[in-house]
Amino acid sequence: MAGRIEDYAIIGDLQTAALVGRDGSIDWLCLPRFDSAACFAALLGDRDNGRWRIAPVNSGHCASRSYRGDTLVLDTFWETPSGTVKVTDFMPQRDKAPDVIRVVEGVSGEVSMRSELVLRFDYGSVVPWMRRIDGHRVAIAGPDSVWLRSTPTLPMYGQDMRTYADFTVSAGERIGFVLTWNASHARRLRRIDPFAALELSLKDWESWSSQCRYEGPWRDAVLRSLITLKALTYAPSGGIAAAATTSLPEEIGGIRNWDYRFCWLRDAALTLNALIAGGYLEEAHAWRDWLLRAVAGNPADLQIMYGIAGERRLPEYEVPWLAGYEGSAPVRIGNAAAGQLQLDVYGEVMDSLFLARESGLPTETYAWNLQRALMDFLEGNWRQPDEGLWEVRGARRHFVHSKVMAWVAADRAVRTLEAQPKWRGDIDRWRAMRDQVHAEVCERGYDPVRNTFTQSYGSRELDAATLLIPQVGFLPADDPRVVGTVAAVRKELDLGGFVRRYSPEAAGVDGLPGSEGAFLACSFWMVDALRATGRRPEAKELFERLLALRNDVGLLAEEWDPVAGRQLGNFPQAFSHIGLVNSALGLARRQEPAD
């Protein structure tokens, strides 16, 4: 059985990632990309669906684990009656092929260890043929091959469709394991030295982390979140995956299980903000360029998400041979929400490109031409109902957040032309659209009796996304309607002191049965809203409670279950870490004596 979601740590090479449990088992790994089929899928099934465990043979426990400094190199210490051993896990930034490296080092005494490798390609369904080639154990099936070797060379043996290595490590002794993926038809790649790769990986990450220019409160948490965002980056394209996993449930035993190994446009503005504030203009530039490539084409065909290299087709299907995390079925691959109409993404694209210009990234005229085309489409379609940012699978509605983001699109278009008067565009028409959207939202999306904006026109349901109204500039934070909305959301969407997205139990809202936990990004939005409305001590207190939800290596999933006291949803979740960074930056901007 897989561990709790918070029992895992992430390692990665900026093209894919693996999840390593406290028990020494890598239970999730997709090769060669984030969105490739998994060869270790025990996370969503059992060990017969693929894993790689290195741990003491008979006894011992994980005494502690941590990332080594400001890197993505993971150290796990095991204590046994006969001694202590350290296992270091990492994935070096690749040259041509992905490598997973595990270094076992004796700290004291003498410890008997075992490596158990269970390779299952195609999400745990294909058992490969194993052979010995030049000191490697090689697994081959279809297009995939995986090569395993150790330094120094250890005897390995097969049993019950698994590959084992039993060995003893003494104080000061190091044994390195290298697992490399390669296309089965390609020539074998050159060997790498696991110990030299470790030193190089440490230097790579330390060099990157040293560029962080944030020096305010909670710096360690902010930098760990920025490292996590970097780990979710697909370096060849600059895209950022929403998470490294698929189908980790929003409710244990429920069906709210989705594939998050893709790039969402709505993350663009917040991601750019976090990266730029942290001093990472190169990553922000790459993300901006990915965005421009991905959304090029007919504005009517704009998608809410794309593949990590900008792919448009993300068909959704189920894999019935995987039982799901703790029985939470179905396991889904792909995401049908890519075909939904979500008008808010137009605002998010316009806002992110506006932010890029304001932050000093080079201005590109073709980017403005794309924005003009997006505005032409939005002008004629902003009055349509849509599925909203939460990707509901119920009926389309006039979601307030979608309309607010349509206002954002018009506002950023107007402000861009005010700063660039020589650029082409009908500023008067866009000003008129901005005023029309604003008036309609304030009339149809606001409940004057309860003094709150609602989830959709005519609805009594609330939506945490309305907390963003002051952040995007739709209304000032001291507007009574904003203050009322913050109070209403805080009361009606409360779950154990944190914030839900909306009420999933409300009839017809999202078209799905069951419930979910508190949404961590929304809880960070509440931090920002409390701070903006003058309740800084309460904002800081909530922020500190959110920090306490991180696991022992500083990672957050999508949601939190306050009853069971555990993380829920895909992991680690970029949106949660973006929220952490932006809330910390907001709280640090203007320190008060009470702080």
Q: Which of 124, 125, 161, 122 is nearest to 143 (CA)?
A: 122
Give me the pLDDT at residue 271, please: 78
Say if residue 591's pLDDT is above 60: no
Number of Cβ within 10 Å of residue 109's Cβ equals 15
> For the segment 436-488, what is each residue's pLDDT rounded down to a tens digit?
999 999 999 999 999 999 999 999 999 999 999 999 999 999 999 999 999 99
> For the segment 121-166, what is each residue's pLDDT rounded down to a tens digit?
999 999 999 999 888 999 999 999 999 999 999 999 999 999 999 9
Give me the pLDDT at residue 285, please: 87
Mark whether 503 and 583 lie in a shared domain: yes
Q: How far is CA 360 from CA 230, 269, 282, 424, in A?
A: 21, 15, 12, 21
Residue 595 lies in a domain: no
Mark whether 526 and 492 lie in a shared domain: yes
Q: Which of 149, 181, 209 is the last residue of a domain?
A: 209
Mark whether 400 and 524 lie in a shared domain: yes
Residue of higher predicted confidence among 164 and 510: 164
Mean pLDDT of the chain: 93
Number of Cβ within 10 Å of residue 530's Cβ equals 23
Give me the amino acid identity at 5. I
Please give the radius of gyration of the chain, using alpha carbons only, rounded to the nearest integer: 25
Show Cβ contacts of residue 453 under 8 Å, excluding neighbours closer than 6 positions: 400, 441, 445, 446, 447, 466, 469, 481, 485
Residue 81 lies in a domain: yes
> For the segment 328-351, what is each residue's pLDDT rounded down to a tens digit?
999 999 999 998 989 999 999 899
Whether residue 437 contacts residue 403, with contact meaning beta carbons closer than 8 Å, is answered with yes
Mark whether 171 and 241 lie in a shared domain: no
> For the segment 207-245, what is each residue's pLDDT rounded down to a tens digit?
999 999 999 999 999 999 999 999 999 999 999 999 999
- DSSP letter, residue 457: T
Mark whether 178 and 271 lie in a shared domain: no
Mark whether 300 and 193 lie in a shared domain: no
Whether residue 174 contacts residue 104, with contact meaning beta carbons closer than 8 Å, is answered with yes
Number of Cβ within 10 Å of residue 232's Cβ equals 27
Mark whether 235 and 195 lie in a shared domain: no
- DSSP letter, residue 252: T
Residue 214 lies in a domain: no
Q: Which of 175, 209, 243 is the last residue of a domain?
A: 209
Mark whether 188 and 240 lie in a shared domain: no
pLDDT over 90, % of the chain: 80
> Which CATH number does the domain housing residue 60 bear?
2.70.98.40
Whether residue 504 contacts residue 514, with contact meaning beta carbons closer than 8 Å, is answered with yes
Mark whether 249 and 171 lie in a shared domain: no
> For the segment 357-392, what is each residue's pLDDT rounded down to a tens digit?
888 888 777 889 889 999 999 999 999 999 999 988
Mark whether 205 and 345 lie in a shared domain: no
Mark whether 362 and 225 lie in a shared domain: yes
Mark whether 33 and 132 lie in a shared domain: yes
> Which CATH number does the domain housing residue 407 bear?
1.50.10.10
Q: Which of 152, 179, 209 is the last residue of a domain?
A: 209
